[in-house]
Structures are given as structure tokens and as C-alpha cells.
A = this chain, B = another copy of it.
Amino acid sequence: MSALYAVFRRELALAWSAGGGAIAPVGFFLGATTLLPLAIGADHELLRKAGPPLVWVAAALAALMTLERLFQADLEDGSLEQLFLCAAPLELIVLAKGAALWLAVGVPLALAGAPAAIALQAPTALIPLTVASLAVGMAGFIGVGLVGAAVSAGVRRGGVLIALIVLPFFAPLLIFGAGVADEVQAGGPFFLLSGCALGAVGLGPILAAAALRIQAG
């Protein structure tokens, strides 16, 4: 138990100490959400349609970039072995890492979804829902991303590889997430999203842990 708490606290400390805490991911998120409008130009119709999906793609990529070095650093600096020598099962340790990441990056990013939505001409009524679904979605992204990060931990400049590995699995989260904005009253997409996220958070750590055991060997 205290092992998990130790991992959680350290990961939180690292997330905040390096990279300026939440400023960077949130800033990136806002930046990325501005990219498309910049490229598209002032075409309202287009923006309103492409807006929610774009917010989600940006969130997905922000999740990716924060995930990338998660295990790679541990592998290189030898702290991965340490994790094998503790009483808590590796799966839970990975989960603790993911939880810390969600708290440090996922939540602030979800909140940043509000201004982003406005910038993309989304109807103001939807904003709370957007934030909520982003928070859930980020959990899902992190769950999936853990696996990608663990699998490509050994690879130098693995960022792109992770992206390649996890993007397909991001697809459902993205589709439902973006769908939430469309049908407000019908909570359908939101439940589907939550379902996917739950699955990812449940399975992700298990697969990731397996991958990490191989990495060390």
C-alpha cells in the first residue's frame, strides 16, 4: 500500500517539477487546438463541425507526449528494477503512475478544454459536458498510453513509435468523445466513452506491466 502511495507521490512530484507542471501540457493543448483553425481560416461552419473532434485529437496528442518518457526514463536510469523489488504487484504500481499522471496532467487539460471549445465556436451550453468527457477521456488515453509507453520504452526517440502503437486504440475514445458534443440530451456517447475508458484503465496497467517485465529481462 505505502509502496503504491510512494510511487504515486513521486510521479506527481516529477510531473510538477519537470516541464513546469501543468502549464506545458495545457499550453500545448491550447496551442494544438489553435493549429487547425489557423490552417482552416475563418470558416465557421467548418470549425463548428471539426471543432470537437479537433479538441479530442489535441487532447489525445497531449496525453501521448506526456506519456512518452514515462517508462523510458525509468528503464534508462535503472529505477525500473527498483519497482520489481517492492511488495506491491507491478500492475498496481503502473496504475499508480497512471493515476498520478491523470491528476497532474489529465485534469488540468480537461479544464483547459473550456476555452478551447469556445475558441472553436462550440455552443457554450456544451462546455461543462466537454470538460467532464475530456476528464474521462484523458483517463482512457492514459490507460491505453501506458501500454504504448511500456512497449516502446527501450526505443530511443520512442515518442513517434508510441504514437503509432496507441493511436489505433485511441480511435474509439476519440469517436465517442467527439460524439458527446453532438447528441447532448442522449447520454449515449458519454456512456460508451466511459465504458471504453474504464476498459482501458482496467486492462492498460496489466498489459503495460507485462511489457515492462520483458523490458528488464
List residues of chain A with CB under 8 Å of any chain B CB: 14-15, 18-20, 23-25, 27-28, 31-32, 34-36, 38-41, 43, 46, 49-50, 52-54, 56-57, 60-62, 64-66, 68-70, 73, 152, 155-161, 163-164, 167-168, 170-171, 174-175, 177-178
Contacts and interface: CB of A to CB of B under 8 A. Distances in A.
Contact of A28 (B27, B34, B163): B163
Contact of A69 (B46, B159, B174): B159
Of A35, A66, A167, A175, most B-chain CB atoms within 10 Å? A35
A69 B156 contact: yes
- The oligomer's copy count stands at 2
A68 B24 CA distance: 14
B46 A60 contact: no
Nearest to A50: B50
Nearest to A61: B61
A159 B35 contact: no
B68 A171 contact: no
Contact of A39 (B56, B159, B168): B56
B19 A156 contact: yes
25 contacts: A18-B157, A19-B152, A19-B156, A19-B157, A19-B158, A20-B164, A23-B164, A24-B163, A28-B164, A28-B167, A35-B170, A36-B53, A36-B54, A38-B175, A39-B53, A39-B56, A39-B178, A40-B50, A43-B49, A46-B50, A62-B160, A64-B65, A66-B160, A68-B68, A69-B156
